[in-house]
Amino acid sequence: MLHKYFISGATIVNEGKSFVGNVLIENGLITDISSGNTIIPQDAEHIEAKGKYLLPGVIDDQVHFRDPGLTHKGDIYTESRAAVAGGVTSFMDMPNTVPNTLTQELLEEKYLAAADKSMANYSFYMGVSNDNAEEVLKTDPSKVCGVKIFLGASTGNMLVDNQATLENIFKNCKSLIAVHCEDEPTIRENLNHYKQKYGDNIPVELHPAIRSHEACLKSSTFAVNLAMKYNTRLHVLHLSTAEEMELFSAEPSTAEKRITAEVCVHHLWFSEEDYKTIGNNIKWNPAIKSGKDRSALMRALHDNRIDIVATDHAPHTKDEKQNPYLSCPSGGPLVQHSLTAMLEKVHNGELSMELVVEKMCHAPALIFGVERRGFIRKGYYADLVLIDRNSPWRVAKENILYKCGWSPFEGVTFHSKVTHTFVNGHLAWKNGKLDDSVKGSRLSFIH
């Protein structure tokens, strides 16, 4: 039987407003939202939240939980636990697992695994290759978050560069299409140039020169133009350059856009100067670029050219990350620290609480059509996060929950802490402790 909770005196941040109020949770749902002094229901567990902030649970539209096939790096169980500890209550996982998720059967196998293992709510993208368009077009948009196209190389048979395949999917797909945009020929040309200069000892500082501005802009422009040709519902993932911002609309209503954009936490936090000290631990694709690019991405968050903040959580082992540049995999773990990192931007005066909630909770729900999540509303699922904004803590090995055991934020002190996370009305995280009995639900979508 589901517990009944009454959260009182929190500063509720929701739909562009912040106010002190109370929330009642019954049978997994938000059943009442009130302000002022309200009588605590006798049969409810009372959570006194005066001075804390209550947010909708974060919806992360881009993670790689490495399950199946790469589970030495992470798996649905371990990474969903880390997500919940960080206030992420729902995730959408990418298809470049082993095997690649290129059939409806393999896609459903992932859902079955998550039903057994995930603490957070979940969805999985259908993968696209040059020769599986028939399978892709079977995808049910009410049950699957979207289809994913890698326009830059990834694991296995997932670089899609066949023009006929792309035209077919952009024209006929009923689902949202999410794209990784980097132009592979440009990257290969850049890589060959630096191999001739450095041999096998390319410094990681050259990662943004190899996976360059030109490679990103060329690919993003191609995807946006193709979407405009067919009026495709397109979502461009992990943007990293100032130049790409010109491709996107600043119209105020995210819900009305046909083409939407995402930025990831690491592109807002780090710059190419950090390669000198953090090295391969911030080697992601697309590459983290200049401070100028980072500033442009932040401006685009404010004017709504960028709609979503996500993570591209992509763990690798410490040993893998210590390899030389050419054999070091790209990606790193982020879901446990994404919300607190963005709240640090609030602490520093770069963002408002309301904007963080808009970009990490509301916008993903609107863009993907997530049913009854992403907002604090009566009748919605009780996916909620309580934040103490005045509880400094330092990221260290002993408090990292990722299976890989490391974080690019190690040594960073955050001022905000996630104290409670509710998943479907279950208290999954409370003051540093997880309730492993909590299970997430499969996300459903309304279009």
pLDDT tens digits, one per residue of 400-421 = 999 999 999 999 999 999 999 9
| Digit-coded pLDDT (tens) for 108-125 | 999 999 999 999 999 999
Same domain, 251 and 317: yes
Q: Give the contacts of 95 (CB within 8 A, at least 6 positions apart).
A: 101, 102, 107, 124, 125, 126, 127, 148, 158
Q: What is the mean pLDDT of residues 230-243?
A: 98
In a domain, 404, yes or no: no
Per-residue pLDDT, 1: 54
Residue 63 parent element (H or E) = strand 58-63
Three-state DSSP class for residue 219? helix
Same domain, 280 and 418: no
Q: What is the mean pLDDT of residues 376-396?
A: 98
Same domain, 346 and 320: yes
Residue 126 has pLDDT above 80, yes or no: yes
Please name the residue ranges forming H helices in 233-331.
Answer: 265-269, 275-278, 291-302, 318-321
- E strands in 311-388: 384-388
Closest CA to 313 of 88, 30, 46: 88
Same domain, 390 and 309: no
Q: Can you give the CATH number for the domain in which 388 is found? A: 2.30.40.10
Whole-angstrom Cα distance, residue 222 to residue 215? 11
Q: Which amino acid is at 7?
A: I
| Digit-coded pLDDT (tens) for 274-300 | 999 999 999 999 999 999 999 999 999
| Digit-coded pLDDT (tens) for 244-280 | 999 999 988 888 999 999 999 999 999 999 999 999 9
Tokens at 355, concatenated: 């904007």
**Cα angle at 100 between 64 and 402, to 5 degrees?**
20
Residue 39, domain extent: 5-55+380-396+410-434
Q: What is the number of structural domains in the chain? A: 2
Same domain, 16 and 102: no
Same domain, 64 and 51: no
Whole-angstrom Cα distance, residue 377 to residue 368? 18
Closest CA to 423 of 11, 59, 46, 45: 59
Per-residue pLDDT, 181: 97
Residue 72 has pLDDT above 70, yes or no: yes
Label the pairing between strands 259-264 and 308-310: parallel
CB neighbours (10 Å) of residue 276?
10
Residues 69/74/78/81 CA torsion (nearest 10 deg): -120
Same domain, 227 and 286: yes
Q: Can you give the CATH number for the domain in which 142 is found? A: 3.20.20.140
Phi-psi region of 420 (alpha: psi -120 to 50; beta: other; left: phi over 0): beta
Q: What is the mean pLDDT of residues 336-355?
A: 98
Q: In which band, very low, low, confident or very high, does the pLDDT at 78 lie, cut at 50, 70 and 90?
A: very high
Q: Are 259 and 222 spatial neighbours (Cβ–Cβ below 8 Å)?
A: no
| Digit-coded pLDDT (tens) for 127-171 | 999 999 999 999 999 999 999 999 965 555 688 999 999 999 999
Please name the residue ranges forming H helices in 75-183.
Answer: 76-85, 104-117, 133-136, 163-172
CB neighbours (10 Å) of residue 349?
7
